[in-house]
Structure 1
Amino acid sequence: MLDTERSEAPIPEREPTAVDAAALDAYSRVVADTVDASSSAVVAIGVSDRVDDAGRALPGGGGSGFLFTPDGLILTNSHVVHRARRIEVTTTAGQAFAADLIGEDPHTDLALLRVSSPKPLPVLPLGSARALRVGQLAIAIGNPLGFACTVTAGVVSALGRSLRATGGRLIEDVIQTDAALNPGNSGGPLLDANGRVIGVNTAIIAGAQGICFATSIDTANQVVTELMRHGRVRRASLGLGAQNVRLPRRYVRWFELASDAAIRVMEVASGSAAARAGIEVGDIVVAFDGTAVEGIDALHRVLGAGAIGRAAMIRVLRRDRSIDVRITPDEFAG
């Protein structure tokens, strides 16, 4: 029989051990050493004289960024500098520079700036997100709410996340972290324990705690290359508007499709690649260039720069027929 009247003895509190103290001290040293080596290359970005499409003045703003070449190239977020006609960069040493916008890509929320200095500037080394592991140390440096050179630390919470950009495309390969971010951190670096940039801090979820995101530095490297070459990221376009659809099972069986997910054409722009190819409103796109199209995001992924001007086959379902149509994508102008 259980003795329900016997009170259980309280669990004694564990006294901190030398191992605990050593681990905490090691963690603090890693963070502090990383900040000492990195903070001089992190900059505050101030934006003024911002206008909308109609030329109306918009409120100024600001964010963070970081130098990654000694001749003054700076990475930040597109939304920090978008529509700005005047951008000022301030280093932790108090140096102020007028910055030129080389290019931006709202679809990955990245922008490239340049400042001119008579002397080489401090830089952050770029790492890679390919070898990241969930749980490893992540350090964020930025200017949240205007508080210069603020440091937060946490872990890599998840990998391979996706975020919807303002233009509707997905930002792929996003890093989730619990290193605290606030407005003003946008564009600042997310660092590993060796002080290498593994991501560009980009977003928080309002109302959530400890859920923050950074665009992978591997994505940023690709975008920087395009911005340096063209001032923009080149992508292909078919010139059609579409929506995701689920196909009836009889369609999947009859046309021997790999999936019931596809896209339905809702609009065809005049003079576009789709119009020239004879794509019609109501067509259901199931494949492009041999790759199944299981949604708008899947189509965006195959419409990279390499598809511009290159003829490919697009498969559509039109009423009771499956049709292969030859199409040559144009360059996306947005």
Structure 2
Amino acid sequence: MKSIIRTTFAVLLLGLGFFAGVAWKNSKVDSTATDGSTLQDTDQVDNPAQAPVFDPGQLPGGLMEEERSTIQLFENSSTSVAFINTTNLRRDYFNRNVMETPRGSGSAFVWDTDGHVVTNYHVIQGADRATVTLANGSVYEAILVGEAPEKDLAVLKIDAPVEELQPIPVGTSSNLRVGQSVYAIGNPFGLDQTLTTGIISALGREIESVSGIPIRDVIQTDAAINPGNSGGPLLNSSGDLIGVNTAIISPSGAYAGIGFSIPVDEVKWVVPDLIQHGRLLRPRLGVEMATQQILQRLGIRQGALVIDVVPNSAAEAAGIRPTSRYSNGSIRLGDLILKLDEFEITSNTDLILAIEHHKAGDIIELLVEREGEQIVIPVTLDEPR
């Protein structure tokens, strides 16, 4: 599996993976079971979660206002945070019994009262079974609803009573500033309901997803993030979700002061697609682009070179020109896409990311270079296939 970030240091995904095509059932399971054991179904809810109510009168005296605010934030927000355990199933060679072995763990948060839980894709990648432990200790088997490896996000669903589900308040990441306080709640090293604090260290970072497509506008924080924090929320001082913790840079494997979170504005448009369709739906342009190696050999430093155009696609209808050969056998380069609307296209990835926030039926304008001249071509995007 590719690493999340390519760097001189080891870049660590903070959870381990899940889902090898096994259909998980929705059921509550005994919270006393340990890793590797068989978890038993139960119909009882022993400790239903209550809506968080902060009582300042219960706090010890002498606390600073900042401490009181942090305590309030944790007590109000932690009920939305969940713990994920993943396992693999294997058949014993000799007696043919199916055995369950621990695979990994991570964090998640409740998205809505329908039982949808959001985590990182890499937390649940490659496992056969997952359980979700809510803040009140109730444990449920989960089913995979949708996954977006290119965004390192996944949605699970549990069959929990509404009174146990406390959806996390969702904020925005468009107005974040370097230096503002942030709070991470998760399950580092399996230690559930752990709070760490810090600041936003930088904005606009880029990390590589499992699929190899970069995730942009990532939040960098110095809040302590360790293995097991993956999929957990990054909160602002109001307790609103502003990011999903996903990776760290560390030469040792533990916290080294640099952590990354997927911005919530990305999460807000990805998750509904995963819930409704099971995957991320992108409108289709319908072009095949040259690889970076080909561009280098041609001496092209920026842009997306069209190698082929898909028949009956938006690109064909708009007249986008593919690479071809003249009658004498020499190569005629296809259109070199330089801009999509106002977005500069310096690489194939830029084109993919520029399209993904559009929907089918949108009319975009492509600035292309064709035989030494620049022309603007309007394109009506196709339905995703």
* TM-score bucket of the superposed structures, by smaller chain: 0.7 to 0.9
Distance 2:222 2:179 in 1: 10
Residue 261 of structure 2: aligned partner: 214
**What's the CA shift for 1:199?**
0.9
Report Cα offsets for 1:268-309 as digits up to 9, x if no partner. 487684689651275352336555422223211232264547
SS at match of 1:261: coil
Q: Does 1:185 align with 2:236?
A: no
SS at match of 1:135: coil
Distance 1:145 1:23 in 2: 32
Trace 1:130-209 onto structure 2 (pairs within 5 A).
Answer: 130-207=174-251, 209=256
**What's the CA shift for 1:132?**
2.1
SS at match of 1:141: strand
**What's the CA shift for 1:77?**
0.7
**What's the CA shift for 1:263?**
2.9
Report Cα offsets for 1:169-209 as digits up to 9, x if no partner. 22122111100111110000111122211111111113272
Distance 1:184 1:315 in 2: 45
Trace 1:1-334 onto structure 2 (pairs within 5 A).
Answer: 25-49=64-88, 60-120=103-163, 121-207=165-251, 209-237=256-284, 238-244=286-292, 245=295, 261-265=302-306, 268=308, 273=313, 279-280=322-323, 282-283=333-334, 285-287=336-338, 290=341, 292-304=344-356, 306=358, 308=360, 317=369
One-letter code aligned to 2:304:
I
Distance 2:64 2:161 in 1: 40
Distance 1:313 1:129 in 2: 27
Distance 1:248 1:23 in 2: 69
TM-score (norm 1): 0.75
Distance 2:62 2:309 in 1: 61
TM-score (norm 2): 0.66
- Is the 8 Å Cα contact of residues 339 and 368 (structure 2) preserved in structure 1? no
Which consecutive residues of structure 1, in runs of 5 or more, have no partner in the other structure? 1-21, 52-56, 252-259
SS at match of 2:225: coil
Distance 1:176 1:32 in 2: 23
- Is the 8 Å Cα contact of residues 74 and 113 (structure 1) preserved in structure 2? yes
Residue 12 of structure 2: aligned partner: none
Distance 1:58 1:312 in 2: 50
Report the CA distance shift for 1:269/1:46 in structure 2 as closer, same or farther (over 3 A). farther
- Is the 8 Å Cα contact of residues 289 and 348 (structure 2) preserved in structure 1? no
Distance 2:111 2:143 in 1: 15
Distance 1:60 1:191 in 2: 28
- Is the 8 Å Cα contact of residues 234 and 305 (structure 1) preserved in structure 2? no
One-letter code aligned to 2:156:
L
One-letter code aligned to 1:280:
T
Report the CA distance shift for 1:59/1:217 in structure 2 as closer, same or farther (over 3 A). same
One-letter code aligned to 1:151:
L
- Is the 8 Å Cα contact of residues 88 and 96 (structure 1) preserved in structure 2? yes
Q: Which has the higher contact order (CA 8 A, sep 6+)?
A: 2
Aligned identity (percent) is 35
Distance 2:101 2:354 in 1: 36
Structure number, greater radius of gyration? 1
Q: Which moved more, 1:216-225 or 1:279-288?
A: 279-288
SS at match of 2:179: coil
Distance 1:218 1:154 in 2: 21
SS at match of 2:167: coil
Report the CA distance shift for 1:130/1:320 in structure 2 as closer, same or farther (over 3 A). closer
SS at match of 1:71: coil
